[in-house]
């Protein structure tokens, strides 16, 4: 019996990067996975589902912009009509672009909070009615909240908000038997982090990580799988750093 056999799991933003790795890991562990993706990432999402099917797993596609409550309602109506309930929600969808204070536009600011915070919050709101005791929610924070970096103010602020949402919603969801936690990856070998950085910048980052390398998507996926097992149900409202000793 696989550890997540017959569990229903939804992973937001799972067409690429960390979300893709998590979706594949959950399916490999027996879960039936809903691969959520932004409509602009359709082919990449189809490739993820094809990979899961090739490995003998179960996955379906559902496009939804996490900033649209209307689209989220349609997605969770699909989950209810198809599966009847939801066991696992992974709030992975996010954006990151950095710049000095004077360069940040209102559009930049609103986009970060809309995707990273609003998207997470309303996914949880829509998911909880479909969840029964023993269900798990995992949000994505970031290890950048433990540092002091120039040019990261908006992104770091959104991830600080995720930490607080996780803590306070634990008080609401705990009595329902639903656990909610956040993970905070460090610098990772994904397009979100690597693209636009020079080799010298990447080498400098690696030198500041105890493990001496960037994190891999599989490192994060392994932690999530651990948090979805029964013995970890006592962990509630925490932000767990997965960064190779970055901070």
Domain coordinates in residue numbering, the chain: 8-242
Q: Which of 2-16, 85-99, 206-220 has the lowest mean pLDDT?
A: 206-220
Q: What is the CA radius of gyration of the chain?
A: 17
The CATH homologous superfamily to which domain 8-242 belongs is NAD(P)-binding Rossmann-like Domain (3.40.50.720)
Q: Please, what is the average pLDDT of the chain?
A: 95
Annotated catalytic, 218? no
Burial class (CB in 10 A: 0-12, 13-18, 19+), 9: buried
Annotated catalytic, 153? no
| Among 142, 143, 179, 188, the one annotated catalytic | 142
Cα–Cα distance measured from residue 139 to residue 124, given in angstroms and rounded to the nearest whole number? 9
| Among 159, 179, 188, 241, the one annotated catalytic | 159
pLDDT at 229: 86
Token reading at 128: 């909880």
Regarding predicted confidence, which is higher, 193 or 119?
119
Among 68, 60, 120, 126, residue whose Cα is nearest residue 91: 120
| Among 32, 118, 155, 241, the one annotated catalytic | 155
pLDDT at 205: 87
Annotated catalytic, 159? yes
pLDDT at 14: 97
Cα–Cα distance measured from residue 245 to residue 81, given in angstroms and rounded to the nearest whole number? 43
| Among 141, 143, 179, 188, the one annotated catalytic | 141
Alpha helices, DSSP H, located in 84-190: 106-113, 119-127, 153-173
Q: Which residues does 205 contact at the CB level (< 8 Å), separation at least 6?
A: 187, 197, 214
210: left (phi over 0), alpha (psi -120 to 50) or beta: alpha
CB-based contact 4:23 (threshold 8 Å) = no
Q: Which residues does 159 contact at the CB level (< 8 Å), separation at least 6?
A: 116, 141, 142, 144, 145, 184
Dihedral (Cα; 96, 98, 104, 105), 10-degree rounding: -30
Q: Which of 47-51, 53-57, 157-161, 225-229 has the lowest mean pLDDT?
A: 225-229
- Residue 179, pLDDT > 80, answer yes
């Amino acid at each position: 019996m696989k550890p997540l056999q017959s569990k229903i799991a939804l992973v937001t933003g799972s067409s690429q990067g960390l979300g893709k790795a998590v979706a594949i890991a959950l399916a490999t562990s027996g879960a039936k996975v809903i691969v959520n993706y932004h409509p602009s990432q359709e082919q990449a999402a189809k490739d993820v589902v094809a990979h899961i099917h090739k490995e003998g797993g179960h996955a379906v596609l559902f496009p939804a912009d996490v900033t649209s409550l209307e689209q989220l309602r349609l997605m969770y109506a699909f989950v209810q009509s198809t599966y009847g309930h939801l066991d696992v929600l992974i709030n992975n969808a996010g954006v990151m672009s950095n710049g000095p204070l004077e360069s940040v536009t209102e559009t930049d600011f609103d986009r970060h909070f809309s995707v990273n915070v609003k998207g997470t919050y309303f996914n949880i709101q829509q998911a909880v009615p479909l969840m029964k005791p023993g269900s798990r929610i995992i949000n994505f924070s970031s290890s950048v909240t433990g540092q002091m970096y120039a040019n990261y103010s908006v992104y770091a602020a959104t991830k600080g908000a995720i930490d607080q949402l996780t803590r306070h919603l634990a008080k609401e969801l705990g009595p329902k038997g639903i656990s909610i936690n956040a993970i905070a990856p460090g610098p990772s070998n994904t397009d979100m982090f690597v693209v636009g950085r020079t080799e010298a910048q990447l080498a400098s980052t690696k030198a500041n990580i105890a493990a001496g390398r960037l994190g891999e998507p599989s490192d994060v996926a392994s932690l999530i799988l651990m948090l979805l097992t029964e013995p970890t149900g006592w962990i509630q409202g925490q932000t767990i750093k997965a960064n190779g000793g970055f901070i």
